[in-house]
Amino acid sequence: MNNIYELDHPLIEHKLAILRDKNTGTKEFRELIGEIATLLCYEAMRDVKLKSCEIETPITKMKTHKFDENDYAFIPILRAGLGMLDGVKNVIPNAKIGHIGMYRDEETFEPVNYFFKVPKDIEKKTVFLLDPMLATGGSAIDAIDLLKEKGVKNIRFLCIISAPEGIKAVSEKHPDVPIYTAHIDKKLNENKYIVPGLGDAGDRIFGTK
């Protein structure tokens, strides 16, 4: 699958080791999610097309290149995706922000949609879909479906930890959507949790368990 980008860097490995540790507290966990999200967004922006412009430094005028931050939107999948938001906003501070609300049915393991609010002209923007965990891929697929129904053509999915099963499911349903992940883990267990994973990202971000 050519649309999968796994970050391979000692700094990522170091931060993931602390993030996975069950003894890592809520404050540090939140900070690490944001830091890794920043690095993921940095990588996902590698092929951005820049426009020529002229600026004036304190020394002289010069020709350089920029991109329009208004052409981008961040869409966290609630609630865990919110943990990545501050990190990606560090990269594109003026990007617009929307929200997609989903939760996993504990019996069927299927995603349930309950909220959808996106910026105006979302179909004209490059959308970064945010969710720390790509497990079964159900939530990601449903979220991408909703965005495509709104006319969005350029979607990039950013996640901290992913399972092979989720990557396969999303890639088969949406092969045009690149996936940027800090690490691809071994598998899903019988409860559809990623192994070795880091537990429930939402609960650890918000301290609800």
Range of the domain at 10: 4-206
| Active-site residue identified among 21, 203, 204, 208 | 203
- Has 108 been annotated as catalytic? yes
Can the peptide bond before residue 119 be classed as cis, meaning omega within 30 degrees of 0? no
Number of structural domains (the chain) is 1
pLDDT in tens, the chain (209 residues): 679 999 989 999 999 999 999 999 999 999 999 999 999 999 999 999 999 999 999 999 999 999 999 999 999 999 899 999 999 999 999 999 999 998 777 777 677 788 999 999 999 999 999 999 999 999 999 999 999 999 999 999 999 999 999 999 999 999 999 999 999 999 999 988 999 999 999 999 998 87
- For residue 45, the domain's CATH number is 3.40.50.2020
- 159 membership: H or E segment, kind and range: strand 154-162
C-alpha–C-alpha distance, residues 87 and 205, integer Å: 13
Q: Determine whether 57 is an active site residue.
A: no
Strand partners, 133: 161
**Choice among 108, 136, 142, 156 that is catalytic:** 108
